[in-house]
Amino acid sequence: MAGRFDLAIFDLDGTLADTAPDIERALNKAMADFGRPPVPHERVLRSIGAGAKASCEAILPGEDLERAAEIVTRYREYYDAANTVWTQPFAGIDGALEALRAGGVKMAVASNKRQPQSEQIIRELGLMGYFSDVFGPEDVERPKPEPDMLKLTMERCGVGPDRSVMVGDTVYDVAAGRASGATTALVTR
């Protein structure tokens, strides 16, 4: 990527780090508090990327909105209290980020996870030194899949879409990248 791009924008969940185990643990703990059965692992994986509220609503079809909001609030309490118990950077991430930095590529994170939480996770995983900025849904009017977060990232980093790449693992990342005019790179598990 170095040479072709001046800015690499990364998603967090499922791209830089495997956050699913801690998301699943916090979600199923919240579900149990409300007498609901645990959410199967594959269903949790499919829900990650849209943000906590949208993900929980997708997991809880038919649940009244008030109860779903209570479950989301409880999930956030559990996740905020312990979000790097089992979370790990994916193998090879340090080397890839180091190579990009050595090539002069600026790097930032744009995640639908709340910004302070993303920054905390990145810091606790020892990756913060690679990134100039971390953006979340509260930084823009419309989160991914809309392009707002990526456009803000490019603006703050002083790099146009023709020299930027969005690296992510979901349709939300690809849609945001394309809508922003950046090149997109889809990673898979």
Count of Cβ atoms closer than 10 Å to residue 92 Cβ: 8
HSE of 189, CA atoms in CB hemisphere, 13 A: 10
Nearest CA among 34, 29, 33, 61 for reference residue 47:
61
How many degrees, rounded to 5, is the angle at CA 86 between CA 28 and CA 102?
Answer: 135
- The token duo for 168 is 């992510």
Distance CA 2, CA 170 (A): 23
**148-157 and 171-180 helices cross at what angle (nearest 10)?**
60
Nearest CA among 74, 87, 71 for reference residue 22:
87
**Residues labelled as active-site residues:** 11
